[in-house]
Amino acid sequence: MLTPHGTVATPVFLPVGSQGAVKTLTPEEVKDIGIAMVLANTYHLCLRPGIATIEKIGGLHKFMAWDRAILTDSGGYQIFSLASLRRVSDDGVMFRSHIDGSQHFITPELVIQFQEALGADIIMALDECPAYDDSFEKVSRAMSRTHQWAERCQRAQRRSDQALYAIVQGGVFPQLRHQSAEYLTSLGFSGYAIGGLSLGEPKKVTLAMTEETVALLPQNKPRYLMGVGSPEDLLEGIARGVDIFDSALPTRVARNGAFFTRLGRANIGNTAYHQMEQPIDPDCDCYTCRTFSAAYLHHLFGCDELLAYRLATIHNLNFISNLMRKVRSAIQNGTFNSFKDNFLSSYKPTDEQIRLNQKQKWLKSQRLRK
């Protein structure tokens, strides 16, 4: 995938740097891990420090000292998660800031204007993201509005050096997914994202809707599954034809003491690591595992030392980056299916019910915070 800031090999995973930073890490550390593109969020950057500030300093790449590719989300999901703090119309969205309660009105045209000022390599159309358990009628209305907004975003685009992606909606209804994919692909966007999934629905539903949607999207344009980042879900998405992923999951669980390993997540808080001289993952080549014992990491998390979050984040992003590199190699060698089966045969994912409970708890915390 060619961008103004370099070629990005796909499939690719994008760490989330909503506010212009991947939490706890410097840009050089992120690059050393092998990350080629990060995600930033227009909603957050609009509120702090403000689009004009970033534009004055020279754009988002210069502002955050990142010379590789950037994808900016439109902020649609964040705005629609505000619930009682926003009001939606066909014109746009009126919402109150979760920071200070100030009122803002955002339109598809403004979203494009903001992202052009930020200067990201890939920019996203504004969409309306319904809850996964909304009714067919409500999801259908949100989908229709998403289509109208996508057209307005397309007409508003002025810069030719940014790839504009549309977002396919339709919830968990195959009929609506088909309608959305058919409509948006007829408009000829540079790429297509699959939105409105990984919002608390069962994983089998996520995969089914992903498979339904990807099959309807052009094979010669990037296909982007938003909000997915666990190792097993990345492999399942790739098997269904997804090219781009993003998620805060690897960095978020790292700050909670969960380390990805070949066998599944390891909770560093477990007493088994109290005196463990070996690294948390003996097969890992990251700075954390090359340098520190599991006992030291256990100690840092027990003391709430800030270094703990940095070391865990380095490890988890390195794990995901290495996984994607191995996937790309397997695809080139024609061995992806066997690679996937071998990986999943020993990797133990988080229990489905625990995962759903954690997701709902996190979504609730985000709503309450906002």
Catalogue the active-site residues. 73, 246
Give me Rg for the CA atoms of the chain.
20
> Residue 361: which residues within 8 A CB-CB, separation 6 or more?
none
Q: Is 83 exposed, middle or buried (0-12, 13-18, 19+ CB in 10 A)?
A: exposed
**Cα 1 from Cα 60, distance rounded (Å):** 20
Place of tokens 């949100």: 142
The 8-class DSSP code of residue 272 comes to: G
> Residue 198: which residues within 8 A CB-CB, separation 6 or more?
206, 226, 227, 228, 233, 247
Q: Which two tokens stand for residue 211?
A: 């498979």
Q: Which two tokens stand for residue 185?
A: 């692909």
For residues 168-201, one letter each, b for 16 or more C-beta atoms within 10 angstroms of the residue's C-beta and e for the rest, the string is bbbbbbeebbbbbbebbbeeebebbbbbbbbbbb
Amino acid at site 183: Y
**Cα 173 from Cα 202, distance rounded (Å):** 14
| Phi, psi for 120 (deg, rounded to 5) | -65, 160
Span between the terminal Cα atoms of the chain, in Å: 35
